[in-house]
Amino acid sequence: MSLARRATGPGRVNLIGDHTDYNRGLALPIAIDLGTTVEFTPTGSSGITFFSTLHRQAITLPLGLPPDPELVGTLEPSWARLLAGVIATVRPEIGGVCRIVTTLPVGAGLSSSAALATALAKVFGATGSPMAVAKLCQQAENLSGVPVGIMDPLACAGGRAGSASLIDFSTLSVEYVPIPGSAEIVVVDSGEHRALRDTEYAARVAECEAAAETIGPLGLADESDLARLRDPLLLRRARHVVSECRRVRQVAEALVSGHLWAAGTYMTESHRSLAEDFGVSTPGLDSLVDHLRSIDGVYGARMTGAGFGGSVVALSRTDAIDVASLPAPAWRVTTTDGTAAYHDRG
């Protein structure tokens, strides 16, 4: 029998660019040193048994699950759905035992599901580029009932230590943007945990699709196109996406030039847009952002991820934030390579 295989899927913190991926826009995420580790021991059985430190009972799922959302998306307990989705897309050839351990807070907006999916895909034998692995994991999440874009699995699969990933979702190209060594990134968990399937995430996707029927893909539109939208709700949703893509470019340029105050200012503007135009922030997230911005040496802060709870990310100078004194769990995070990352050799 084959030896055990192990892989770690890093979490994802999006510095800027939320709700842009499914709109063919831009985003600037990083893979972080909090993550989910999966160890798969092949046994030759006809199924895979999963043990997780987050759940008391093990789950056994058969090999050969079909990529059927009506089957995968209704499995119980609910944490079996993503596991089944990965089995259905990656198609592992042999059964065995999977043990799952994570340092990511689940539901905190740090892509715990994408971290798990990319790690599972790796130990189940998925090969190819980070993009290829990310597409499999996106399909797995969609099968499980969550209509995510490709940003989270791509950030988790293809991140690069020392850099953020500037992703253009209209071309699926990735450019690595170095983060200055003088910058520090702190993530604060609001404590408002959620599963995306239980939020208005799908409604936001539908609203963006409705706006795109008038002005085309929102990530490719510009401010002048917004005047064609008559529905005030759709106008606000589209305005966020259009302005967010501009801010992504501005933050990337600011990081390259070392202008951290400028980068932080755009991050704070992003939070305001997510709260006011896109309606995905909460009073708790707003309060955390305000608190972080009041700390000397903090350049900017914003909610990160899909919203409706989750976490806040702050960009600051080194040691400006005393994480132990914050009103919620917090971590200084560093960038790391993704699960399927590879570097061009020249």
Q: Is 152 a catalytic residue?
A: yes
> What whole-number distance in Å separates Cα of residue 249 and Cα of residue 246?
5
State the catalytic residue, choosing from 21, 152, 189, 337.
152
Query: What is the set of active-site residues?
Result: 152
